[in-house]
A and B are shown apart, each in its own frame.
Chain A
Amino acid sequence: MTGMVALYIFMLAAFTGYEVISRVPVILHTPLMSGSNFVHGIVLVGAMVALGNAHTTLEKVIGVIGVLLAAGNAVGGYVVTERMLEMFKSSGARGGGKRGAH
């Protein structure tokens, strides 16, 4: 991947992120923030690679901390997002019939 290609990816991804959530209703703000919090848990992949290439003890210690934190970000982010959305769905089913009158 050349620097220029990476820059294109960066630009397109930035616009994508903006577009994807530009029309989100207020009720989904909290779950969506939590969901995007989960998505940057992809840092786990980088932390694994960093630790996988660590040599000195210092690098290994920091690498282990990185992987620990990253795994926490990914798994924790998933669990709380799922719990919130699960509840949201059930409330939608209960309140759904009356929503049209709103």
Chain B
Amino acid sequence: MLDEATRDWIIQASYFVTAALFILGLKRMSSPVTARSGITWAGAGMLVATAVTFAFPGMSNYELIIPAILVGSALAWWSGKRVAITDMPQMIALYNGMGGGAAAAIAAVELYHGEMESTAAAALAVVGGIIGAVSFAGSGIAFGKLQGLIKRSIRFPGLQIINLLILVAAVGHGALISMHVTAPTTMVTGMFVFALILGVTMTLPIGGADMPVVISLYNALTGLAVGFEGFVLNNAAMIIAGTVVGSAGTLLTQLMAKAMNRSLGNVLFSGFGDTGATATGTVTGSMKPIEASDVGVMMAFAQKVIVVPGYGMAVAQAQHKIWELCQLLIDRGVNVKFAIHPVAGRMPGHMNVLLAEAGVPYDLIADLDEINAEFETADVALIIGANDVVNPVARNDKSSPIYGMPILNADKAKNVIVIKRGQGAGFSGIENALFYLDNTRMLYGDAQKAGAELIQAIKAAG
């Protein structure tokens, strides 16, 4: 058996290696060429850190630790392997929430334990615990919304003030706990209850379209919470990994919010829907249906077709069919391009991954800035399961909650074909003025089925 000092040295050295592997792994993940190896490096770091922690001095309860790790890992492994690529964002939210919950649990154990070294240590545990609990509850709500378990965004006047009061209550409890150092159990419980409620009430009013930004924010918050608990446990690996994720996640959140032309404060506090209920009144006209055979002919004899894929296409698993359709058109000499809005999937970059899965080459995929001028010269803009990202009210209706969001100018195309399952509003619940334009026709049906019908129609067009 190694003596105490050697064992401690090995543990600390291993944590050092882990921190280095994490940073190198993240660095590799930020470049397309090395991305794949990045996660492997980070994974190796995690294995090293977990393994040496079993040798931590003064540990007991192994009979609880080992089964808990096995069960948690097995469930996550199973769910992670099973989930469809389209559902990735909510799974990230779910796993992130678990991390936040774990950070809050560490804080809870330490605070209930009640032997904090100092007010500073107790304060760090408190801050990490509150952030972790908010991230846990908030990520859970985000998961529920994206998974379709929570359908409505609940809002009412004065909600922000109530949220502020809940925050004050949680922080107030936390401050008292920090000053007492050994705090009464009820006070610790009270703090966590308020923090959990805050996570729920903060996230419920936020519309589905803003969820990626919120998930990214909670990701950063979990990182911070882990970092703070690292201070409490005097664990350098947790401090470094948590803080790195906290700052990287904050930057990523800003990049995402910028891609949607919304400030973070706007996403969190104004929310969709302050004016949303009235926005529907401005739409006039009617939706005009069209048959697949007519669309097939229209596209077969077009010069230029721009496909605007949205999340609906991915849900219907139609990307393969649509690409088959586009290949037919390309063979006929039609100029085909894909226009990707920064938030076309559920997150920036999500749609690129989905199209890549179907085999669409990169040079046919254009982003918003590249393609927007080209819509005016396009004969057909084919909208598949996209909604808010092509809604012209974002450009011209100041009362609309999505006013100011950059959109794809699909309405400028000579003909706009919208493949849509039904007549409902988009993910954000906002009526789409594009559907009512004179040059727009609606092709109702499942994207996969519509794709197959269009392929037949184009083949028949000869």
A71 proximity list for chain B (CB < 8 A): 68-73, 76
Chain A residue at smallest Cβ distance from B93: A37
Q: Cα distance A17–B140 when bound, in Å?
A: 25
Shortest distance between the CB of A76 and any CB in chain B (Å): 3
B247→A86 contact, CB < 8 A: no
Shortest distance between the CB of B241 and any CB in chain A (Å): 4
Query: Total interface residues on B, using CB and 8 Å?
Result: 115
B32→A92 contact, CB < 8 A: yes
Shortest distance between the CB of B178 and any CB in chain A (Å): 15
Assuming the contacts A20-B30, A71-B68, A76-B91, asked whether A43 and B76 have C-beta atoms less than 8 A apart, the reply is: no
The interface stretch among B196-204, B248-256, B268-276, B394-402 is B248-256
A69→B356 contact, CB < 8 A: no
Q: Cα distance A29–B229 when bound, in Å?
A: 27
B247→A46 contact, CB < 8 A: no
B244 at the interface (CB under 8 A from A): yes
Q: Cα distance A93–B93 when bound, in Å?
A: 29
The interface stretch among B33-41, B380-388, B417-425 is B33-41
Shortest distance between the CB of A102 and any CB in chain B (Å): 5
B80 at the interface (CB under 8 A from A): yes
B409 at the interface (CB under 8 A from A): no
The interface stretch among B59-67, B157-165, B305-313, B324-332 is B59-67
Complex partner residue of A62 from B85, B105, B229, B240, CB under 8 angstroms: B105
* A-side interface mostly: helix
* B-side interface mostly: helix
Assuming the contacts A1-B234, A44-B102, asked whether A38 and B39 have C-beta atoms less than 8 A apart, the reply is: yes
Shortest distance between the CB of B223 and any CB in chain A (Å): 5
B236→A20 contact, CB < 8 A: no
Q: Cα distance A75–B193 when bound, in Å?
A: 28
The interface stretch among B282-290, B360-368, B427-435, B450-458 is B360-368
Assuming the contacts A26-B349, A71-B72, A73-B95, asked whether A80 and B83 have C-beta atoms less than 8 A apart, the reply is: yes
Assuming the contacts A42-B226, A49-B233, A85-B29, asked whether A27 and B349 have C-beta atoms less than 8 A apart, the reply is: yes
A102→B362 contact, CB < 8 A: yes
B9 at the interface (CB under 8 A from A): no
Assuming the contacts A1-B236, A42-B241, asked whether A75 and B72 have C-beta atoms less than 8 A apart, the reply is: yes
A101 proximity list for chain B (CB < 8 A): 363
Chain A residue at smallest Cβ distance from B218: A37
B245→A36 contact, CB < 8 A: yes
Q: Cα distance A73–B68 when bound, in Å?
A: 13
A20→B102 contact, CB < 8 A: no
Assuming the contacts A67-B72, A73-B95, asked whether A99 and B349 have C-beta atoms less than 8 A apart, the reply is: no
Q: Cα distance A63–B50 when bound, in Å?
A: 16
A73→B29 contact, CB < 8 A: no
A88→B102 contact, CB < 8 A: no
B437 at the interface (CB under 8 A from A): no
Q: Cα distance A83–B49 when bound, in Å?
A: 23
Q: Cα distance A26–B342 when bound, in Å?
A: 8
A40 proximity list for chain B (CB < 8 A): 96, 99, 219, 222-223, 226, 241-242, 245
Complex partner residue of A99 from B25, B216, B362, CB under 8 angstroms: B362
Q: Cα distance A2–B76 when bound, in Å?
A: 36
Name which of A15, A24, A65 has the most chain B CB atoms within 10 A of its CB.
A24
A84→B85 contact, CB < 8 A: yes
B138 at the interface (CB under 8 A from A): no
Cβ contacts B230-244/A at 8 Å (1 or 0 each): 110111111111111
The interface stretch among B108-116, B144-152, B168-176 is B108-116
Q: Cα distance A94–B321 when bound, in Å?
A: 18
Chain B residue at smallest Cβ distance from A94: B359
Q: Cα distance A3–B231 when bound, in Å?
A: 9
Chain A residue at smallest Cβ distance from B79: A76
6 A-B contacts, Cβ less than 8 Å apart? A32-B29, A35-B26, A44-B49, A48-B53, A74-B46, A78-B46
Q: Which residues of A contact B (CB under 8 A)?
A: 1, 3, 6, 9-10, 13-18, 20-56, 58-60, 62-92, 94-96, 98-99, 101-102
> Which are the 6 A-B pairs with shortest beta-carbon distances?
A91-B356, A66-B105, A71-B72, A79-B80, A52-B59, A76-B76
